[in-house]
Amino acid sequence: MDSPLRPEAAPLLQTRPGSNDEAERAYDADEKVVISVSEDDRSMEDDGSLPPFSWRKLWRFTGPGFLMSIAFLDPGNLEGDLQAGACAGYSLLWLLFWSTAMGLIIQLLSARLGVATGRHLAELCREEYPPWATIALWIMAELALIGADIQEVIGSAIAIKILSGGVIPLWAGVVITASDCFIFLFLENYGVRKLEAFFGVLIATMAVSFAIMFGETKPSGKEFLIGVLVPKLSSGTIRQAVGVVGCIIMPHNVFLHSALVQSRKIDNSKTSHVREAMSYYSIESTVALLISFFINVCVTTVFAKGFYGTEVASSIGLENAGQFLQEKYGGKLFPILYIWGIGLLASGQSSTITGTYAGQFIMGGFLNLRLKKWARSLITRSFAMLPTILVALLFDTDDSAMDILNESLNVLQSIQIPFALIPLLALVSKEQLMGAFRIGLIMKVVTWIMVGFLIIINGYLLLDFFTAEVHGLLISCLLSSALAIYVIFIAYLVLRGSAFRTSVTLVINKGFCNRN
């Protein structure tokens, strides 16, 4: 049976192989935000009960969830939104809502892991798996991060090109965007809260920009409500539906959130403190993803109102979307092209910086590197810069080639999803690690079903892409061999964690006992 949340449960922090003072940590002690403990809080520590809700404490915990939410607002997501709106109208808004809800559950599990253990996912993977599997998981995480980074940097470069009136070419925009890691390093020196405030400004910029577009174009309120409340899916919109679901869960974001929550200084040895932190992080993350859902809805409905059912609907992509908007709507107070460009720039800049942040934790955690943060930032940023500049030079004038590239990058990230989600679920189900805070039976079953659904959805995207773009016997044989290795590794991770087998066995046993 699952352990309830109780003080006498297994200790939260335990001595594990490879766990020592020299190990890499997400944040040093002097970098963490201190959460004050009142006399009332101390009086409740003995029985493990939670102190009363405090708006001041919620504010102190606010930050990690909003940084996490940026992955739901990156240029890849915006492109999925606009294509869903242009090709499927309002009909996929319900799927966007439920995909965001699934994303919230996954991110809350990531936060739970980080708070309860005091370690982040990459660190725990290094301790849980043998060296060969650790290296394989690290490579997969880095590939997913590079793919996301290319899309994010290209998105920023497109925005810079728009806002400069085409004077700054795509490759120059990439170089400008590459320098954002220096902004990140500068802000990081002034503390976590300053960095979080900067990201808050970028999210607010996106919200205002896309809300203005929503107001200018006036999408149908009735169609919006029907789209959110009534599930509808046709054979002609399956590709867009897969895109909506597939771009919500970003592998690097799962690693990132488990590290971000450690920026607050709490006593992990006290059950009440951990429960309180989880409670505040749940509220903050929910609010952050509601805001991200609002922004995604604005983009989807604007393009649904303007382009659904038109001849150009299937040809709209991230690079030409602004021009299509300008030709359709112009702008009453300010050209809508530049409003789109400002929102896209905020999306690209915020997501590239959080990508750099995630890269630090992924590299440091998997490899146990005790490098200075500026060195890890430069290394992480360098991984993506060369391929991104090549992309900008090769695809600057070819919209169809850019679309194929984006599809390829979506596939690259999709195939990495199991290598973040399966270790996460295995670890949060492990009583020796999580103690009183391991997830219960119902949550295990629900989350494994969700992960299976996401793997199937992204498998469809993978199959669809290879069917359309891959030709030739030799390449097909090579890909078939790679696919076999891929499936075997996924099976290994599932069996190693054994969480799914345990859950299914318990469900069967409970059903058998009930019948008897």
Instruction: Provide block-wise average pLDDT over 10 residues at a time, the chain (516 residues).
Output: 39 43 63 68 57 87 93 89 89 91 94 92 92 92 85 88 87 81 73 87 94 89 90 78 77 92 85 89 95 94 90 84 86 82 92 85 85 69 72 62 68 81 92 88 89 78 69 76 85 74 48 51
What is the pLDDT at residue 409?
A: 73
* Long-range pairs for 490-496: beta carbons < 8 A, 24 or more residues apart: 490/418, 490/419, 490/422, 490/455, 492/133, 493/133, 493/418, 493/419, 493/422, 493/423, 493/426, 494/422, 496/129, 496/133, 496/426
Q: Where are the domains of the chain?
A: 55-397+408-422
pLDDT number for residue 66: 94
Burial class of residue 486, CB neighbours in 10 A (0-12, 13-18, 19+):
middle
Output the pTM of the full model. Answer: 0.85
Check residue 90 and give its pLDDT.
92
User: 3-class SS at 90?
Assistant: coil
- Architecture category of domain 55-397+408-422 in CATH: Orthogonal Bundle (1.10)
Q: Tell me, what's the pLDDT at 34?
A: 80
pLDDT of residue 500: 44
Q: Is the dihedral of CA 158, 161, 163, 168 positive or negative?
A: positive
Produce one character per residue of 415-451: b if its CB has 16 or more CB atoms within 10 Å, e if not: bbbbbbbbbbbbbbbbeebbbbbbbeeebbbebbebb
